[in-house]
Structure 1
């Protein structure tokens, strides 16, 4: 067989050797565009954590502080806190008259509401149980309200993005994108149709999305330690932001602190 056998035919009918195709030259990829100085600054900027919302603070009172100083206008003098004494706690059942005098801002009714007093006279277990029951009912309502909607991104994420780069992501845009989520819209519509206390709040969206049991634990802990705590030795306990992870960390710290104090430790609830 000749060396040209098996080669393609020309238009004249003769056989010619096939010429191997030359490999194409690799095309140089265009160099990626260098990011702008503003984009580089944004990428290297650490995320900004939004400040937490503190509505109720629990103060562990020093033993030597007289009861006469436990008034709203004395809070700034003794604790550097501007607020008003608020009824947060329940007194223990079958409270005696001489014990009632040890409570702070005691009110009539059953259970007896008060702003604080010695730990041994406060019904913290009962208060936590009642808060958990109420949270369970609220969660069931929330579950019906948001049925069929996808999980939503909580507000602290949008707020942090705005604080990190307010020029490129203004507050108005952050607010609009948060409220445009179908799950948030469903909660807002429910609040509009059924106004009043006890309704699911979009401020607790992340807590609801953690599940019913988690939400009940969260509300039960918050019922007795509020949003921040000032210990008797001057330590300030508070969440780093409104994000659930930071809130849970605060609850762990505050509840653990209450477990270390004696039954004579006085608590005072303040609305900021």
Structure 2
């Protein structure tokens, strides 16, 4: 999700933007399946990316499998998308929330005894407001020198794979266990941005939690009211 200054080699863009790793596309009804390949995404949606096996497929009849995109074997059955009625969005949210609860317990142990840290987007905005007086390197150093950030970095250095704590989610973690679970559950189905069936784009204006919450409110309002036959497609950018 959010940018990580500890791994960034070059300064950011001139204006702050939200980090978008995965986008959900509401596929127009009149768009044929053949137009939804990776090579056609830019032409049809202005999106340069690849199909992402993000969704869970529900149990289905054999003849329904042809309606899915990038269907994989296994349990749960992952796919890049398909009609909403054949996607287990509820199960995805529930599982993501449960996993987030476990991660937050780990986060609480890792940062125990440290004060809340200022998230990266605050330093980035200050740098972008006056790059000369507040250089990028200074902003990155101010962020990484915080005791809580160093506690997380130390944990990540000693941990491999999924056990790491995402520094880009620091603000969400610090909002509390329940808030982090809700954020993770909603992001599981709404991803980082969404293109509606009529071509409108919904996305947070920055990586600040308040902006991401606003996006999730808008995206979930749409996803919970769309037609069950509406096709969704997940694209990794």
TM-score norm. by structure 2 comes to 0.93
1:95-129 residue CA offsets vs partner (Å, 9 max, x unmatched): 21111111100001111100000000000000000
Q: 1:175-214 deviations in whole A, cap 9, x for unaligned?
A: 0000000000000000000121242111100000000000
Q: 2:225 aligns with which of 232, 240, 260?
A: 260
Output the CA distance in 2 between the equivalents of 1:117 and 1:199. Answer: 31
Q: Report if the CA contact (8 A) 1:91-1:114 is conserved.
A: yes
Aligned to 2:125, the other structure's residue is in SS state helix
**Deviation per residue, 1:149-174 (Å, 9 max, x gap):** 00000000000000000000000000
The answer to whether the Cα contact below 8 Å between 1:240 and 1:246 also exists between their aligned partners in 2 is yes
The 4+ residue runs of structure 1 with deviation greater than 3 A are: none
Q: Which has the higher helix share?
A: 2
Aligned to 1:14: none
2:70 maps to which of 102, 105, 108: 105
TM-score normalised according to structure 1 size: 0.81
What are the within-5 Å matches in structure 2 for residues 58-69 of structure 1? 58-69=24-35
The structural deviation recorded for 1:260 is 2.2
- Distance in 2 (alpha carbons) for counterparts of 1:168 and 1:217: 38
Distance in 2, Cα, partners of 1:210 & 1:199: 19
**Which structure exhibits the higher relative contact order, with contacts defined as CA atoms closer than 8 Å and separated by 6 or more residues?**
2
Match for residue 19 of structure 2? 53
1:19-98 → structure 2 map (5 Å cutoff):
50-92=16-58, 94-98=59-63
Q: How many residues align?
A: 224
- The equivalent position to 1:213 in structure 2, one of 178, 185, 202, is 178
CA RMSD after TM alignment? 0.9
Q: Which runs of 5+ in 1 are unaligned?
A: 1-47
CA distance in 2, matches of 1:102, 1:249: 32
Note if 1:200 corresponds to 2:136. no
CA distance in 1, matches of 2:164, 2:156: 7
CA distance in 2, matches of 1:116, 1:138: 27
Q: Return the match for 1:225 from 190, 197, 203.
A: 190
Q: Which range is displaced more, 69-78 or 194-203?
A: 194-203
* Gap runs ≥5 in structure 2: 1-13
Aligned partner of 1:234 in structure 2 is 199
Query: CA 1:198–1:234 in 2, change beyond 3 Å: closer, same or farther?
Result: farther
Aligned to 1:26: none
Question: Residue in 1 aligned with 2:145?
Answer: 180
2:153 and 2:75 map into 1 onto residues whose CA distance is 34
Distance in structure 2 (CA, Å) of the matches to 1:59 and 1:153: 33
Larger radius of gyration: 1
